[in-house]
Structure 1
């Protein structure tokens, strides 16, 4: 049975790869409006990795955009807390987290201190898969409409589908009126939730029935190029590279020392090139079976590939493992794009590619390069702040916890004890500024004000929803990260290495060609795609149309 699954997947991928001899996408006359908009999101891909490995790219993956499309070499996120959910909420809404309400992946309710997950909704469950208490099951917390919502409001027959290895990567781009499918690490299958439907369509059942993830059990992730090609990257096996999961050296056998596929294997699959391969196989099935872009109405497909983020978290973007994954990803994209050419028609769709955030270099490696770098551990920092506040005011636990990018203070407790909240907030800010790695701390009053000159204040303001965010918002020093573990890296800052991401377009006749060096924002993506599709921009979009039509 395992051999049969491998053979079926191999045939599917081989068919998609068969067109790879073509060095340029076909030139065709476009329709008035594209029949399909395809957004590809690479979770955790900084722009510096796309341009840094340009000489090693395949001819029709990322190079399709760089050589034959319109691409923006200075595209940034405008908000300061650059994390997965926030980025995915911006892409197709054009609204910063200050409006969308998606301030982070998770946060604490300011009134109760209860934990909130960005797409969590206990009213709905995954279909045919277990549902954890904080699982992402609906877009209820998203306060704004997306481009897909605009499309389906005017054209109910249109389809909007979001697919990802992560729930937030599928749900947020799909908006309120689309359909989301996410990878289940417990089962190795893709599932939707009861927010969207009560049962999966037959094609999803058929896809899952083959247990497609099992085809990658004991498969080897080997370097794509000879060793010398990776001289620009940090070698494997460094002490700061996380060695759990699939290990920290290539070649790596996925599922090594396991008796058979199971939740640990299915989770580890995402931290390898095979996670992208599987997600794109599901996307192909969706295009074929839902006949996206082939039914006389416009459709939108969003595919968010999660593997690069897991790899960068474990090994850092400077690593050979991240470098090699970028190249594997590039080849998978090439096959997917050429599948679209054949299935939908090269003149019938527009491609856009971006990322939800960039990535910070691993602090330990950055330190070897002479940078001031380090890790800010929230748990001991909270204890230090509360000890100082207790000594000053005689009240314990005035600071509830760190929440998203800030410190959440207990306003009710302060009021009950007869304390002026302004005094507690000022004292907490003072203590935070004493901690190693803290660059600045903004108060709620600053974030609600109109100061446009203080560095990073405007970026943090765009991440601040006063109904959901902590009163004090923290900006760490450059090269410092919020981290509770001794290895790996992360993102989340307003600095360029976290905000600077790809913004790439391709669509003959729709978007033109060439590099644009003007600084733009990812909030511009939704209004730009809306103009290309002949649709109004989402109502609360804060970006602008980049006017790509030639």
Structure 2
């Protein structure tokens, strides 16, 4: 086997033995250079800050605790935009720009002119390499209107490498920016691939990684609780009726691939909703660091790794669940092994780590209701039908509401004009009907979102999520503990409330970022300007955040 292939598989061996790692603290770094050779961003999809601090006593000593005990961390960090979803969060991290500037208003939306569906990283001009490309697949950063920190770096230093890796296409593509390279997990094949936007063919090391079929090594593996049963008393037990029972089931231990004859698309998809999805992603990240020689080529590089599994787990079972609790602990151990790998491969003192999340999570409504909260699910299809019925009764025109789009209701302004209707009247009537629906807190019009009112609650947050060329005319804010939901179980996110916007913002890098907790409120839009200052680079041009001044 070639040496680069053996190195590609090193990550799997390390991950499989992470529980046997020594318990030594991060190695002391020698005096750092003026700027770090490698900047590493770790994004945990769907991780609320309350889980990091709530389970702090059960963390390993060198995963999340590396930041909490030896780094600089912000305990009051929030997204300031209102529609807190995966693509929007990932677009903010390394641009410092909110969706009002970046154009990434949601994971998917409807074209206001045609009503056609748009995917945030969809681009039919490009296809996946060595893998099928379904309609609306994420293949390029075309829809991202602003530059990333990696774009700034590669403009100044074309020899630098900027690599984004994730279980989701949007988690890889958006942080990698326009001039980086994105690799994403293929749920049908269990491989990691890229698209023709970035290259004509995959590098040899990626082909070798895929040829070894590392995802297959997890077939029939058991996801078992990491700690004794008594350690999970603070979380909700398995097997609740509101916990999604498909996929890998809703009880631990869970066998990934149970009742399947062999690895296939269903198994590869289910892998992401388990600790093994992150383990596999970090194995690929190790292979990238080793084979691309990141941080060891005399120029500065950026690596972004977005770990998707926690989001899948929280969607299925809720952040209050024992399954989510245990998944976080497994993730913590995987991070510990990855950080120690970086210490050995790149050298402590040669790189800076930053860790954040794209959004937090709302508790499952059915569980929240048992705690005495007003909670529920807002179903889009029946809600659209009710609004359209009311509008038809008033104006005599069917289907004036096209569909829900992102965080809003897209109205058919062209149809209204064709029928001689005053669109302002249609918009006002639609808003009134939305406000009658269960779970709706408020609804903002396009005019409000384009105005300068800063006193109305939630308006500024929704304004930061509003790109007038892409967003629906009416933007909806649900009540606390309510979620947009397409199924009867599990939970979600997307609100302007703390449960969805309060996320980790953690840094580590001896000599670069200092140590200790910072309680001052900050925004995740501050991450890109802060990393830019550490790297000795200007902040991305459209950044709305500020440098947090972390240098000791």
Q: C-alpha distance in 1, partners of 2:72/2:338?
A: 19
1:29 Cα deviation from its structure 2 partner: 1.6
Contact 2:378 2:483 (C-alpha < 8 Å) held by counterparts: yes
Partner SS state of residue 94, structure 1: coil
CA gap of 1:14–1:215, structure 2 versus 1, over 3 A, is closer
CA displacement 1:482-511 (0-9 Å, x = unmatched): 002111000000000000000000000100
Q: Aligned match of 1:271 in 273, 276, 282? A: 273
8 Å contact from structure 2 (residues 10, 283) kept in 1: no
Deviation readout 1:268-326 (Å, 9 max, x if unpaired): 00000000000000000000000000000000000000000000000000000000000
Deviation at 1:16, TM superposition (A): 6.4
Matched-pair contact (CA < 8 Å) for 1:524–1:546: yes
CA distance in 1, matches of 2:440, 2:366: 18
8 Å contact kept, 1:61–1:332:
yes
Q: Distance in 1 between matches of 2:33 and 2:122?
A: 39
Q: Which residue, 61, 72, 87 being the options, matches 2:89?
A: 87
* Offset of residue 19 of structure 1: 4.9
C-alpha separation between the residues in 1 aligned to 2:71 and 2:33? Answer: 17
Query: 2:101–2:146: 8 Å Cα contact kept in structure 1?
Result: yes
TM-score for the superposition, normalised by structure 2: 0.98
Match for residue 310 of structure 1?
Answer: 312
Pairwise CA distance, 1:418: 0.5
* 3-state SS, counterpart of residue 314 of structure 1: helix
Per the alignment, residue 452 of structure 2 pairs with 450
| 1:103–1:404 Cα contact (<8 Å) kept | yes
Question: In structure 2, how many angstroms separate the alpha carbons of the residues matched to 1:355 and 1:8?
Answer: 27
1:33 to 32, 35, 41: 35
Cα drift, residue 41 of structure 1: 0.3
Q: Distance in 1 between matches of 2:11 and 2:398?
A: 58
- SS in structure 2 opposite 1:112? coil
- For residues 108-507 of structure 1, the aligned pairs below 5 Å read 108-507=110-509
Q: Matched residue of 2:136: which SS?
A: coil
Query: Offset of 1:25 from its aligned partner?
Result: 4.1
Match of 1:13 in 2: 15
**Which range is displaced more, 22-31 or 409-418?**
22-31
**How far does residue 13 in structure 1 lie from its aligned partner after superposition?**
2.8
Relative to structure 1, the CA distance from residue 302 to residue 168 in structure 2 (aligned partners, 3 Å threshold; closer, same or farther) is same
| Runs (5+) with no aligned partner, structure 1 | none
How far has the Cα of 1:445 moved from its partner? Answer: 0.3
Encode CA deviations 1:117-163: one digit per residue, 9 max, x unaligned.
00000000000000001000000000000000000000000000000
Whether the 8 Å contact between 2:14 and 2:337 is mirrored in structure 1 is no
Note the alpha carbon deviations across 1:12-50, whole angstroms, 9 max, x for none. Answer: 435766653213443432111000000000000000000
Q: Does 1:513 align with 2:512?
A: no
Deviation at 1:526, TM superposition (A): 0.2
Q: Distance in 2 between matches of 1:399 and 1:346?
A: 56
Match of 2:547 in 1: 545
Residues 220 and 258 in structure 2, CA contact (< 8 A), matched pair in contact too: yes
Per-residue deviation, residues 315-361 of structure 1 (Å, max 9, x unmatched): 00000000000000000000000000000000100000000000000
Paired with 2:402 and 2:230, the residues of 1 have a C-alpha distance of 51
Q: Distance in 1 between matches of 2:31 and 2:341?
A: 18
Name the CA distance, whole Å, in 2 between partners of 1:239 and 1:546.
44
> Distance in 2 between the 1:16 and 1:409 partners?
53
CA RMSD of aligned residues (A): 1.4
1:20 touches 1:334 (CA, 8 Å); kept in 2? Answer: no
What corresponds to 2:64 in structure 1? 62
Specify the SS of the correspondent of 1:21: coil
Question: What is the aligned length?
Answer: 547
Contact 2:85 / 2:358 at 8 angstroms: preserved in 1?
yes
Distance verdict in 2 for CA 1:9–1:335, change over 3 Å: closer
Alignment partners' CA distance in 1, 2:182 and 2:407: 27
5+ unaligned residues in a row in structure 2: which ranges? 1-5
* Cα deviation digits, residues 427-481 of structure 1 (max 9, x gap): 0000000000000000000000000000000000000000000000000000000
